[in-house]
Each structure stands twice: as structure tokens, then as C-alpha cells.
Structure 1
Amino acid sequence: MIEATWIAFAFGLGLVARRLGLPPLIGYLGAGFALAAFDNQLGITRQDSEILGHLAHLGVLLLLFTVGLKLKLGNLARPEVVGVCLLHFILLFGLMLPPILLFLDVSWQDGLMLSVALTFSSTVLAAKILESRRELRAFHGRVAIGVLIVQDLIALVVMSLASGRAPSPWALLVFLLPLLRPLLYRLLDRSGHEELLVLLGLMLALVVGGEGFEAVGLSSELGALAFGVLLAKHPRANELSDSLWSVKEVFLVGFFLQIGIGGLPDVHALVFAAVISLLLPLKALLFFFLFLAFRLRSRSAFLSAASLTHYSEFGLIVISVLMPQWLVPLAITLAFSFILSAQFNRVSAQFYDRLASRLIPLERNIRHPDEQPVSLGDAQILVMGMGRSGRAAYDYLHEKGYRVVSLDSDPEKVERATRDGRNILYADAEDQTFWQSLEMNQTEAVILTMNDAEAKIIACHKLREKGFKGLVVSHALYEDVARQIEAAGADHTYLTMTEAGAGLAQSVAEQLEGRAE
């Protein structure tokens, strides 16, 4: 049974990669090439390859759907996202095209397509890297994902033009999708917390989004992403994303296997891949300096650029349409870039810390969109995270006369809270430099209301490392998470649902006592 062989190869080489200190996905790529090498002995048929390709496609759709669940459109339509993406595309394309035409025996049309394919970065790998480091919600993570989505839209346009397939007139209906949001919210509310929730995610990502968009001549990837974005503001969006995590991970193994199983390279393909991989620093430098030009701090610019320093699976799709003879060389290039990027991103934060003294002077001497505070002033209480719980805590304490300041790593929330008159500052709890420079001499208590449990744990560690002796309280959905937060330094962690139940019971008891009197 060939599926058992795929699983065995993927697990075995994934385990070897992990033992060598490499991400398992490198092992999955190697498993794909190993399967290609033993193609005849294993009896892999075309139908088997098509099944694997289908599984890989499902993995990509689920990944984009979960990325959409964590994406807010306000973070996408920003100058540092759209401007950097378009300028990077133009500049890198202009730098890639001349040497490709000069050194490769290709027509100018083929050279054009190769250059376009090499400008994109991999949404799959970048999302995996950011997700594994819990940085999808960090400022640099949102910027990187935003750039990738704009790149994917450009790739979709290129693919449509290359294939000669125009969208159906029915494609205009996608502009009415926001009208479906109340229905989708109701479905999510009624799906419970078990298998129905998983099935809802699969249906929206694969059937309604994927198949639905393809039916009107649009990309299924765009459809999966769009339906994720529609649900991004729902309070249970994170729960839906978590419920799909295992399914998505398994299908994505098929994606990495598919890249390798596409065929074994010859010497020319290896040389091409090696040379093009040497251009990755150029890609990174362009991103870094463009981010600086668009007012990002050097740390955000560096980490965002590191997350984008690789080539894209969309490039393979573009090439497969018009230049199938270049598919294997480009697949090897993609594999090389994945290996190099995964290794670099493992140490990118530490690498930045070493270079910080040289990179910080390159920042523009203006207000940055990711500016972080150095002092909390005379604030008595700090509220970290301005979701519903954070806003309620802030407003209650403010009405009681306490001097309160709040922090959040979502620029959109910061802008909204500022308009509402709250004292709020932008800050990323997972940013090492933020904690190193923060002054909180008059702060007596900290309330942690961020959605991400890991961010709360990090904040507790950093607060205690700074020598903060005041009160630290948090909330959590689950008891095991509460124990982790308290182990990191919190004085107390409230179980959200338990406290809500106790509050309801207290309200009932008070009303019954009032009636008795």
C-alpha cells in the first residue's frame, strides 16, 4: 500500500531531520526525493501521484484558511505591506531578468516567467515558521503574512494570464461575501467544540471556499483564505484554528512530499538551484531596506525579511503552466531555499540581537508604526491585551480612579482604543527589546488579557526577570494553561468560564435574597 510507504518515509526522515536539529519539513522534502529515487521499485503510479497532489492541495487550503482566521484586513491594507510588496516585486524582477536572459538558454518570454516565479516567497513555509514560533500575531508576523497574501494575489493574476483562463462573470459575487458573515457566525456558534467544529472548518476551507471559488474561475487558495478572513473577528476563531491544527499538519506533509516526488534532478538542475539559492541574501536585503524605508524598526524589518527569504510553491505552479521543463530545477531551488531559510529563521532573533547595534542606526528618525514605549509613566496598573476582557478590565479600573495604561500588539486595536479615549500604547509582549528598555517604576499591578497563552507565559517570565514585585494576574480557559502561567510568575490566574459561572451564580443568589426580603 503506497500510502503506508509515504507515511513511513515521511516519519523516518522527519525524525532524522529533527535529530539533526533541522525542522521536520526538511525531512519530508528528503522523503519526497527518496520516493522519487525508488519510484520503479515502489511501483508509484500516476494515480498515486495524483492522490498525493490532492492531499497536498488540501493541506495548502487548510493552511491558508487558518492564516485567514488570524488576519485582519486592516493590517493588510497598510503602506508597509502593499508598498513593500509591490516595490520588492518590481525591483527583484528587474534584478533577476538580465542574468537569467544572459546566462540561460531561454527565450525572453521564458526568462520573463522564470523571473516572475522567483520573486515570490512561500506562504506555506513562512506561515509554518511564524506559527511554530507563535509569531503570527506579532507585528512582524502580520506584516510578513500581509506581504505574502499580496504576493499570492499577484501570482494568481499571473497564473490567470498565463493559462488564458478568465474568471466567470459569476466571480463578481465574491464582493457579496461579507453579507454571509452573520450566517457564518451563527454556524460557528452552533457547531460546539468537537467534531462538528472541525467539519465546519473543513467545509468552509475545502468545499465552500476552495471548490466554490474554482467553480467561478477563481483560485481555490484565494477562496480558502477569504472564508478564513470572514471569520477572523469571531471570538471563537482561534478555537476553530486550533481544532484544525492536526488535520492541516498531516495534509501539509503531503505538500512537502509532493515537491520532492516530482522528479530527481540532474547536474544542470542542481547547479541552477545552487546559483539561484545564492541570490537569497539579495532578496532578504531588499525586503529589509524596503521595510526600513516604510518606517519599520530594524528588528521588525529584520524578522519580517527573514520570514520571507525563500522561494515560493506558487512559482512552481506558474512554471508548470508554461514551462514544465523547468519544473524539477525550480523544485530543487525551492527545496534548497526551504532548507536555508528554515535554518536561518531558527536563529534569526539571536542573530538580530548580535547585529542590533549596527542595524538600529539605520532606522529612520521618525515615528515608526511599530514604535514601542520605553516608559509607562505614572500608571499604577498595566493591562496587556485590549480584547473584550482587556477593555472591560481597563474601563472598570479607570472608573474606580486608578491610573491605568494598556498595551496591545495589534495596531488596529491601538488605533481604535485611542479613538475611544483609552490610554493605550503599541507593544509586543514577545519582543525582547521591549522588556529590556521598559520602565515601570510606579506600576503596582499587571493584568494579562492577551488571547495567546504563550504570550502570557512570556510576559510573566519577563516581568519577574525585570525584578517586578507587584501583582500579576491573568485569565485562562483551561486549568493546565493556568498552571503554566502561574509557574511562569503570575500571582493568580482566573479560569474565564469558571469565573463567569460563579458570577452568574452570585447574581442569582443576590436576586433570590432580594426577593426573600
Structure 2
Amino acid sequence: MIEAVWIAFAFLMGLATRQVGLPPLIGYLGAGFALSALGTQVGVGPEDSEILSHIAHLGVLLLLFTVGLKLKVKNLVRPEVIGGSLLHFGLSTGLLLAGLLYFLELPLGEATLLAMALSFSSTVLAAKVLESKRELRAFHGRVAIGVLIMQDLIALVAISVASGKSPSAWALLVLILPLSKPLLFKLLDMSGHEELMILLGLLLALVVGGAGFEALGLSSELGALAFGALMAGHKRAGELSQSLWSLKEIFLVGFFLQIGLGGLPDMHAVVFALVLTLLLPLKALLFFFLFVGFKLRARSAFLSSLTLANYSEFGLIMASLVLPQWLIPLALTVAFSFLLSAPLNRIVHSVYERLSPYLLPFERNIRHPDEQPITLGDAQILVMGLGRTGRAAYDNLFEQGFNVIALDSDPVAVDASLQAGRRALFADAEDQVFWQNLDMPNIHSVILAMNDAEAKTIAVQKLRSRGFDGLIVSHAMYEDIARRIIRAGADHTYLTMSEAGAGLAEHVARSARERASLLSETAGPNAASNNS
């Protein structure tokens, strides 16, 4: 029956936080603390915590596997990723170490491990936030995930060293993993589109990646991530990720419940967590200036920094192994950072809009890696977004003879469209500098086919504010979003599902009319022949 208690608490607390505009994961954390407070009154015992811990671990492995499915190795080998993560780790660990030694008078070894645990950012939260906004492949999303992977690798090394464990001699076998890619791709091709594909994902994430890496003395988290990255090049990697979505979400509820079940904090733990939460802006600022130093523009640096402005679940893993006396204070610190970071990341684009005048002067006056296009040349129609809707709109207009150009914030989507023969450029509709520098002299119509509703609203506002009086058409999943886009200045919005249904009906009606006409023509000669 304890599973029923977990589900009931998680649902009620998640629903409550959702009603006040906070992400449900904050409610799951609260449910964990509530279960910890009630304890034996609801029948939560040590053996139940072990079960939940196992479920939570599976959720983290599945999350990292699905993150890996969206990764490209070339995106990690970038100066801002390697340099930003290493420099931030060194600087933040040094500053935190000085503060811990001065204010808490901890032993040097303990203070060093604690400072390292606090220097990491949450892979789980950042990946979940970016995924919910569909920004994992956007430039700032790839930078943030790259930094998190570097941090995770550092954390795994630190945990191994601090716990006295060392990899097995067989760990060198992971170096030949890339050779298994053809076999893995073949298995995915053979698995079809139903339950076998889901089982293959679970096999790779939990068994081969998770348990396999643990058997070699390596981190199961690293194994899940590695096998996800191996599968990222397959054309059905996105389908595999989508098939694991629901399982991953359910198991991750266990992760957030587990944090709260770590125990109830005392006043010292609360003060410690509050002070560390107040230091989060400094963590974000350090990331921002490092990213700007590595040639990122202010917007990309700001969005990546806010994504990383939290504390990590790896700190809890480190505490459970080598700092057990700090587990509850760190759990509360992580919870507080989630409470601040999660809702802030939901409105991060609006926050940037307000702060951009103060952030733009920090940009370096050189070519940036994520530089936006300046002119759209002789194009007549602009399609923003290269998902299925955007590609279909582009291809249809191109076949009708229009001069079309497309923009997308996902470099992978841009590359795929370029290979397919489309004119496509990398750009982000929510970037203020992009709109200020954009020259579109011949554009008379714009189609907004991005996934994010906020991006479409901002794009409409920016187009109208710069004096564009041409046609702006958008699609939307829901009526309230469609109304918001119209209020921003769009000419028309089309509800995706309604239009799909209307299209199907029109197709059937056209076929029925053609069939009736054909039967009528056939019946005519026959009737004439009979009369004669």
C-alpha cells in the first residue's frame, strides 16, 4: 500500500504547486518532506525508502539516456563548454572553500568535498526544464548541457577518488564502445515502433549502460549517458526518446520524492540552505562572465547561466558516500535551489528582455560562435521553425514557385534542411539582437511554425515593432495560445489539430466527389446503351 501513499502525496502536492504557477516537481519535493515528517504514521519504513531509491535511480538513468539521444559529441568539444565548466568549477570551489573554512571552521578535507559538491549544477532539473521548453538543441541549451556533462564527469571522478573506489581493469573496454554503433543501429531498426523499441531503450539505459558500467567500476549514470549518445546519430533517435517519455517522467517523480525523504532539517540546516540559495545569483554571474569571455553573446550567456543556477543531485550522491553528516542540509539546499530556479527558468526569456540593455554592453566586439544572420536577401516568404509543420509549409510554397527562406534555433534541423535543398539559417526568434540587426527587404509574409508559444508571441511583437506590415500567420495547439498570438499582432492563427481534421475531411470530400462524378459518367453511357 505504500506505493498508493507515494502516488497520492505526489499527485496532490504536484497539483497544488501547478495551481499556483510552479512546476509540479516542486510539489514532488514537498511530498517527500511531508512523507518524511509523517514517517511511521503513513507506513514509510527503511525498506520502502530503498525501493523508492531504486525507482529514483532508474529515473535518473532514463533521463540521462534520453539526454544522450539528443547529444552530438562535436557540441561538447567547444571552448565555452570545456573552458567554462573547468574554470567555473575551479573558481566556485575555491571561493566556497574559503567561505566554509572561515565561517564554519570545517576541516580542510571535509570543506573541500563540500565546496566541490556545491559547485555542480543539476543535470536532472536543467535537462527537464530545457526539454519542457524544447530548447535542448538550441544554442544555449547545448552549451548548458555540455557544461553539465563536464561537471558530471568531474563529479564522478571526485566521487570515485573520495570513496576510495577505482575502476576495474576492464573499464578500458568502454573505449571500443563506438565500434558497437552499427550493431546498436541494426537492433533499433529491427525493433519496430512498439514495445520492442521501448524494451531496447530500457536495455541500453538500465542494463547495458547502467549495470554494465557499474560492473566495470564506473558510474551507471555515465553509462546511460554514453549509450544515449551512441544512439544519437540514428534517424529514429527522437522516436526512441519519445517512446521512453512517460516511463522517465514516472520514475523521476521517485527521484524528487527521495530527496525530501532524506530527512527533516534542523534550524542550522535551514540557515545553511537559505544562505547558499542567496548565493545562487553569484553562481549565475560567474557563468555569465565566463561565457561572455568565450565569445558568447549576452543572450546565450544569460540563458545558459540561468539554466545552471542551481545545486546538483550529484552533491547528494557525494554526500551519501563521503559526507553523510551533510546529506540533509544539502538535500534542503538542492530543494531550495530548485524552488528558485525552476519558476525563474519558465520566464527567463521575459527576464532577458528587461535586462538586455544592461547585459549587452558586456558582449565582446568580435565574431560570436552563435552569430545570427543579418540579411534574408531576395526571399519573399520567411518560415520560422523547421519542424514537421515548418518543413511542410516551406516545401509547399517552394513547389508553387515562391522564394522561401527558413530560420531555426536548432543547428541539427538547419543542417538537415540544407542537405534536403532548403534555404535555411540558424537564428533564434527570441533574440533581441537578431531582430535589431535583421534585414528582410523583400519579405511580405511570415509563417511562425516554432513549437514554443512564447517564441511565437515575441516574434510577432518584434516584427510589428520594427514596422513590418506584411502577413503573419501562425499555428497553435490550443485556443488560448492562438488568441495570445493574435493579440500580439498576427493576422491569422490555425489550430493544428483542427486544421489537420479539416484537411482530412476535405480530402475525403474531394475523393467522394470525384468518385461520384466517375460513377455518373460511367452510368451515362450504360444508360444510353440500354435505351437504344
TM-score, length-scaled by structure 2: 0.82
2:124, 2:492 → 1: CA distance? Answer: 34
2:283 is the alignment partner of 1:283: yes
Kept in 2: contact 1:473–1:493 (CA 8 A): no
2:116, 2:427 → 1: CA distance? Answer: 36
Change (3 A) 1:348 1:417: closer
1:230, 1:325 → 2: CA distance? Answer: 38
1:19, 1:456 → 2: CA distance? Answer: 20
Aligned twin of 2:31: 31
Shift of 1:373: 2.2
Aligned twin of 2:148: 148
Aligned twin of 1:83: 83
Aligned twin of 1:160: 160
- Read off the aligned partner of 2:82 and give its amino acid letter: V
Kept in 2: contact 1:284–1:308 (CA 8 A): yes
For the residue of structure 2 that corresponds to 1:181, the secondary structure is helix
Kept in 1: contact 2:29–2:257 (CA 8 A): yes
Kept in 1: contact 2:80–2:143 (CA 8 A): yes
Question: Which deviates further from its counterpart, 52-61 or 18-27?
Answer: 18-27
Change (3 A) 1:388 1:132: closer
2:103, 2:457 → 1: CA distance? Answer: 55
Kept in 2: contact 1:298–1:360 (CA 8 A): yes
- Read off the aligned partner of 2:349 and give its amino acid letter: A
1:441-452 pair list within 5 angstroms = 441-443=441-443
1:183-332 pair list within 5 angstroms = 183-332=183-332
1:103, 1:298 → 2: CA distance? Answer: 34
Kept in 2: contact 1:17–1:23 (CA 8 A): yes
2:62 is the alignment partner of 1:67: no
Aligned twin of 1:512: none
Residue by residue over 1:331-390, the C-alpha shift from the partner in whole angstroms, topping out at 9 and shown as x without a partner, is 111111111111322222111111111111111111111111242122345566679999
2:178, 2:500 → 1: CA distance? Answer: 35
- Structure 1 gaps, min length 5: 499-517
Kept in 1: contact 2:473–2:492 (CA 8 A): no
- Read off the aligned partner of 1:216 and give its amino acid letter: L
Shift of 1:180: 1.7
2:100 is the alignment partner of 1:97: no
Shift of 1:43: 2.8
2:424, 2:129 → 1: CA distance? Answer: 30
For the residue of structure 2 that corresponds to 1:38, the secondary structure is helix
Aligned twin of 2:451: 454
Kept in 1: contact 2:70–2:238 (CA 8 A): yes
Bigger CA radius of gyration: 2
Aligned twin of 1:368: 368
Aligned twin of 1:12: 12
- Read off the aligned partner of 2:342 and give its amino acid letter: A
For the residue of structure 1 that corresponds to 2:119, the secondary structure is coil
For the residue of structure 2 that corresponds to 1:425, the secondary structure is strand
Shift of 1:203: 1.3
- What RMSD, in angstroms, separates the aligned Cα atoms of the two structures? 3.7
Tell me the number of residue pairs that the alignment of Structure 1 and Structure 2 aligns.
490
For the residue of structure 1 that corresponds to 2:425, the secondary structure is strand
2:98, 2:416 → 1: CA distance? Answer: 47
Kept in 2: contact 1:74–1:412 (CA 8 A): no
Kept in 2: contact 1:298–1:362 (CA 8 A): yes
1:456, 1:311 → 2: CA distance? Answer: 29
Change (3 A) 1:150 1:488: farther
Kept in 2: contact 1:429–1:455 (CA 8 A): no
Change (3 A) 1:20 1:399: closer
2:192, 2:454 → 1: CA distance? Answer: 28
Question: Which deviates further from its counterpart, 3-12 or 341-350?
Answer: 341-350
1:393, 1:27 → 2: CA distance? Answer: 40
Change (3 A) 1:178 1:383: farther
Kept in 2: contact 1:443–1:470 (CA 8 A): no
Kept in 2: contact 1:144–1:304 (CA 8 A): yes
The percent identity for this pair of structures is: 64
TM-score, length-scaled by structure 1: 0.84
Aligned twin of 2:58: 58
2:438, 2:452 → 1: CA distance? Answer: 17
1:368, 1:66 → 2: CA distance? Answer: 29
Kept in 1: contact 2:263–2:328 (CA 8 A): yes
Change (3 A) 1:319 1:227: same
